[in-house]
Every structure is written in C-alpha cells, then in structure tokens.
Homo-oligomer: A and B are copies of this chain.
Amino acid sequence: MSRAIVLAARPDGAPRESDFAVQEILPQEPDDGEVLVRNVFVSVDPYMRGRMRGVRTYVDPFAVGEPVVGGAVGRVVSSRDERFAEGDWVVSMLGWREEGVAKGDTLRRLDPELASPSTALGVLGMPGFTAWLGLVVIGEVREGETIYVSGAAGAVGSTAAQIAKLKGLRVIGSAGTAEKVDWLSSLGVEAFDYRETKVGDALADGIDVYFDNVGGPQLEAALTALRPFGRVIGCGQIARYNDVEPTPGPRNLGLLVTKRLRLQGFLVFDHSDRYGEFLAEVGPWVADGSLVYRETILDGLESVPTAFAGLFRGDNVGKMLVRL
C-alpha cells in the first residue's frame, strides 16, 4: 500500500489543511508502455488552486475524493517502456502521491549529474519555463528596459527577475517579508516590501514592462507607471485565487489606449514546443551559477497540504516542494 493526498473539500477562500486528507491507495502494476514511479519530490503550485474550484477553466477541475494531480519528480521502480529503466529519475504529473503508474509518453528523464532533480519542478521546470516565456514570448523584453516583477521571491518571480537582469534590464521586484527583500537585493534586484512601501512610490521612475504574478490592485499602480508602449505579462494572480467575490479591476484602464499598452495573459502548456529553447538558454546560467534558485522544502507526504496552503501565506522563498 502507498498513500496519496486527496481533495476532501473544495476550499472556500484560502485553502486550509482540512480541505485535504491522506488516503491509502492500492498498488498498481505498469502495463505495456507504462512505468511505475516512486516520488521523491512533489510540487505545490499556485495554479492548482484554480483546479480546486468546481468550475472548468482551461482544464477540468479536480474531483473531490480523488488524489490531486500535479508535478512530481521520482525514480523508476519498474518499467514496461524501453526508454526508462529502474532507478532513472523522471519528472511526471503524478502529483501528490508516494507512487504511481504513468504512461512513458508523459514522463521526461532527468540527468541528476546536470542539475538537482528537484529543479525539474522549479527553475528548470514549469515555473522557470513560465518566467522565460513571459519575458521572451509575451513581454518581448529588451536590453535597457525597466521591468517590475511582483511576487519576485516566488518560484516564477525570482527566475523572471534574474533572467531579466541577465538580459540587461533594470529590475524592480516586490515581496512580502524582509528576508525575501534581502535575498532579492543580493541578486541585484531593486526590491521592496509591498506591505511597507506603496507600489506606486517604488515605480515612480516609470517602467516598460510589468510581470504580474499577483493580479489585483498592483496592476493599477503598474498601469500608471508604465511608459508608452508598455507591456503587462499576465502570468499569475495569486492574490486573487482565493477570492470568493470578484474584485473591481483597475480604475485607470483607459491608459490602455493613450499609452498604447498591451496586456497579455498566457499559460505555459500552450508553448511546450519552446521548452528546448528555454533549457538551452537558461540551463547554462543555472549550471554556472549566474542564475541562482532557492527551494523551500517540507518533508513527508502529510506536509503537502501545509505546503500548499503556505503558498498563499507567502511561506515560501523560491520554489515550494515536499520531499517524501
């Protein structure tokens, strides 16, 4: 027997540990083309909150009573796909469970010599790829521009801020604790604590691009600060995911026309054909240390709900993971 975390109830507002439960699951055997994987790291990501609502957005919602699906890194226990052998490290979408069977086509093998396998869930995985896509494909950032990154100490934000620095931008970033601000400052980011400094004051010099990880009120300040032809990269809205009622949008959206702004949202899974391009550019920066990453790691499957709920309290610096 092994264990999984199931969605026990749809969260009402901020997710609570009681919205989840540990459940024993039956052992599975791989069929032809399938692989049995024992997870080592499971990922908790803000976007998963959206799938806990009972409505379809771009994917179906999670079912109550079922194990939660998401990113995970593990090792192959047994394989009936010739591309994978026992002991291989793989990244999967097996989610919040100790072990599971996946089709070989859904797995990607990791080389633990190249980078820590956990990075496949962070700086070299979905969050890092998201950061790169937002900057390069959606924001089309250029050397010499100024960018503001909200949620800059998170998995996506901290990667976006550093890629922007490496591409020659001036980077302003916000976070919610002194520790996070200190870390960002050490990376060359002009960092501020949004709980202490008004966003508008921090952006008073003007910006060219806003990398929006939080949604909500910060957008209004960013629209005011954006220069003509400015872009908003609509990446995430962690400040809004727990909303029970919709909140009003920015009062200054009329600036869209007068400043010729572009606001564009995106989802990483539409762009999987560019993952190789991302890895070719960002992989070497991670390998040589010019792009650093942090992980906040909790231990044990039963910690997953705490880790997940902690995302919305800002408990993490960098990527939040659970090690099994």
**Distance in Å from the Cβ of A247 to the closest Cβ of chain B?**
6
**B262 pairs with A267, CB closer than 8 A:** no
**B237 pairs with A254, CB closer than 8 A:** yes
Interface 9-mer from A18-26, A87-95, A228-236 = A228-236
CA distance A61 to B292 in the complex (A): 48
Task: State how many copies of this chain the complex holds.
Answer: 2
**A256 pairs with B264, CB closer than 8 A:** yes
Give every chain B residue within 8 A of A256 (Cβ-Cβ): 234, 263-265
**B257 pairs with A236, CB closer than 8 A:** yes
Other-chain contact of A254, B215, B220, B259 (Cβ < 8 Å): B215
Instruction: Name the residue among A228, A237, A247, A249 with the largest chain B CB count within 10 angstroms.
Output: A249
**A58 pairs with B258, CB closer than 8 A:** yes
CA distance A247 to B220 in the complex (A): 12
CA distance A247 to B228 in the complex (A): 22
**B258 pairs with A261, CB closer than 8 A:** no
**Distance in Å from the Cβ of A215 to the closest Cβ of chain B?**
6
**A253 pairs with B258, CB closer than 8 A:** no
CA distance A235 to B258 in the complex (A): 9
**B247 pairs with A251, CB closer than 8 A:** yes
CA distance A21 to B188 in the complex (A): 57
Tell yes or no: A186 within 8 A of B by CB: no
User: A residues near B, CB below 8 A?
Assistant: 50, 57-58, 215, 219-220, 228, 234-237, 240, 246-267, 270
Q: Give the top 9 A-B pairs by smallest Cβ distance, nearest first.
A: A249-B249, A248-B248, A256-B265, A246-B251, A257-B265, A234-B256, A249-B253, A263-B263, A262-B264
Beyond A58-B259, A219-B253, A246-B254, 5 additional contacts (C-beta under 8 Å) are A234-B257, A234-B261, A235-B257, A249-B251, A261-B264
